[in-house]
Each structure stands twice: as structure tokens, then as C-alpha cells.
Amino acid sequence: MHYHNTRLLEQVHVVVADLAASKRFYQAVLHELGRTLSAEGADYFRADELLVTAGKPEQRSHVHLVFRAAGPQLLPGFVAAGLAAGGRPAPNLVLGDDNNRCSLLDPDGNPVHALVDQSPVSDKPGLLDHKAPFTVCE
């Protein structure tokens, strides 16, 4: 049996109503996690597997993104940067009981979280030996 221990998703495409507002927000929160945009153009920007493009308001994506944070010390900055860059408090904005997660809403109202990555690295099939920058949930 062959195991393909690579990332499951090659790209996540998010369509937003206001590209400039979304770019400010995602640049700010990604910066707090030690990440930057990897490409950008007049109608898009990209950060690793995340592709964000402009569209009409009725074309907006409805996604739930979870970014990986290297440690709990990054979470307060993630929240502060996101709020300062046009994000809104999420219903569960407070840090988790264990201070390992936090939540915001992006300018389009999508839930965006940072979660401290505590997953072990394993050589077992189906587990990655490297960390993906984010997780997508429905």
C-alpha cells in the first residue's frame, strides 16, 4: 500500500466583496503568525495555499479558516491586529479555556481562528511530518 503523506489541499480559494479590506485584515493576522503574502495582483492575493480574489458581494465565499500559531504568546497579537485591520469580534472571541485558540470575523464575516499547534509529528501513514499553515472547516 502506498501512503501519500502530503498536504491534502493544494489551494483554498476565498472570494471576498472588498479585496482591499480583506488584504489589510489577512496581512495583519498573518504577520502576527510570522507569515507574509506570497503573491499579489490587482484582483487577488495569496499566502501559501490561501488564495483570495475579488468578487461581487453575492459571490462571496462562506468559509471557516483556522490558522496555526506556533505558541500561545502569538494569540493576543493575532486578535489585536485583526481587530485593528477591520476584523470584528467573533461570538467566542475570548481565548479558549486553555489559552490555545482565539477567534475573529474577517471583513466578510467569515470565522477566522488561530489555534496553537500541539500536534505531534509521526511517521505513521496519513500524518504529515510538516505543518500546514491553516485548516479549513465547513
Residue among 109, 112, 107, 108 at smallest CA distance from 135:
112
Residue 134: pLDDT over 60: no
Q: What is the pLDDT of residue 130?
A: 46
Cβ–Cβ under 8 Å, residues 51 and 44: yes
Domains located in the chain, CATH noted: 12-137 (3.10.180.10)
Residues 6+ apart with CB under 8 A from 63: 12, 14, 110, 136
What pTM, to 2 d.p., does this model score? 0.79
Eight-class DSSP state of 59: G
Cα dist from 24 to 47, 58, 84, 127, whole Å? 13, 21, 9, 33
Distance CA 87, CA 17 (A): 14
Distance CA 32, CA 84 (A): 12
Q: What is the pLDDT of residue 100?
A: 86
In tens, the pLDDT along 104-132 reads 999 999 999 999 877 655 555 554 444 55
**Residue 7 β-bridge partners:** none
More confident residue, 7 or 99: 99
Q: What is the pLDDT of residue 129?
A: 46
Q: What is the pLDDT of residue 92?
A: 65
